[in-house]
Amino acid sequence: MYQISAKGPRAAIEPAWDALAWTDPSPAGAVDAKEDGRHAWRLDAYAESEEDAEACKALIIETSPELNVVIEALEDRDWVTLSLEGLPPVEAGRFIVAGSHVLAKSAPGKTPILIEAGPAFGTGHHGTTLGCLIGLEHVLRRTRPRKVLDIGTGSGLLAIAAIKSGAQRAWGTEIDADSVRVANENAAKNHVANAFQTFETGGGMNATIRSDAPYDLVFANILFRPLVGLAPDIERLTAPGGHVILSGLLNPQEPLVRKAYGDRGLSLTKRVRKDGWSSLVFRKPG
């Protein structure tokens, strides 16, 4: 495994992140960008091979030549086990998210969600996932969604949290077969498999999900451009009076997402910013 890093102004980091995230196929297995101090941002990408790492570096330099890109070979270790040892529990309102090594000693009165570190995105530590949990807490203070759709469910954390808060049923979608497997396994570990299933499909557009619409709550923690492109579909899938929780966008990308959903008649009810990432909660009239 190789880590490709660069530091610089947001104006240089953001297009480099965008290029790595949107090249198809991308040489990067994962990409992250966040604020790293006053007026400074940091880009981190991860690649399986040295060839892919060099391709990442070349793409970053081509997009933002002013950046100094560093490639570091990561030690061949059991990163899942290591990350479990170092990951503290995540608390967001009523929720506590952690591996089994922590949940056994978790605080009483919290809603526990068992998520082990693994190949699917979503342990609650990333600013986008944490922001969505805070957004869910905001929704739950006002209503109890019964049917939930989680587009790009990753580990299944958000859908599981909604079910443990009273939702009767949740569907998840993923474009990655491994994430589908992990999400369904996590549903079983959290004893909600009878109410949650993830499908390998793009954008929440399979026959089962369409026929079961509308949904009281729709999550979409994906990427900026798909969030904008899916606005018409997400609006149609949302029940009148229902909520939409979006994330996967950097703070500067907020205005375009807010416009895309505002143009569909949805109103913004809450914004959460964590580590340079925004999570937005919308409500559909009705």
For strand 238-250 and strand 277-283, is the pairing parallel, antiparallel, or unpaired?
A: antiparallel
| Domain with residues 121-283, CATH architecture | 3-Layer(aba) Sandwich (3.40)
Cα–Cα separations (whole angstroms), residue 116 to 54, 93, 152, 158, 171: 31, 20, 18, 14, 21
pLDDT of residue 87: 52
pTM above 0.75, yes or no: no
Yes or no: say if 199 and 183 are a contact pair by the CB < 8 Å rule: no
pLDDT per residue as tens, the chain (286 positions): 889 999 999 899 989 988 887 777 788 877 777 777 667 888 988 888 999 999 999 999 999 999 999 999 976 654 444 444 445 667 777 887 766 655 555 566 778 787 765 544 444 456 788 899 999 999 999 999 999 999 999 889 999 999 999 999 999 999 888 889 989 999 999 999 999 999 998 655 788 999 999 999 999 998 888 899 999 999 999 999 999 999 988 888 899 999 999 999 999 999 999 877 899 999 999 8
DSSP states of 109-174: TSEEEE--SSSSS-SS-SHHHHHHHHHHHHHHTT---SEEEEET-TTSHHHHHHHHTT-SEEEEEE
pLDDT of residue 105: 58
- Give domain limits for the chain: 2-73, 121-283
Q: Domain 2-73 carries which CATH code?
A: 3.30.70.120
Would the CATH topology of 2-73 be identical to that of 121-283?
no
Could you tell me which of 17, 1, 4 has the C-alpha nearest to residue 68? 4
Yes or no: say if 39 and 19 are a contact pair by the CB < 8 Å rule: no
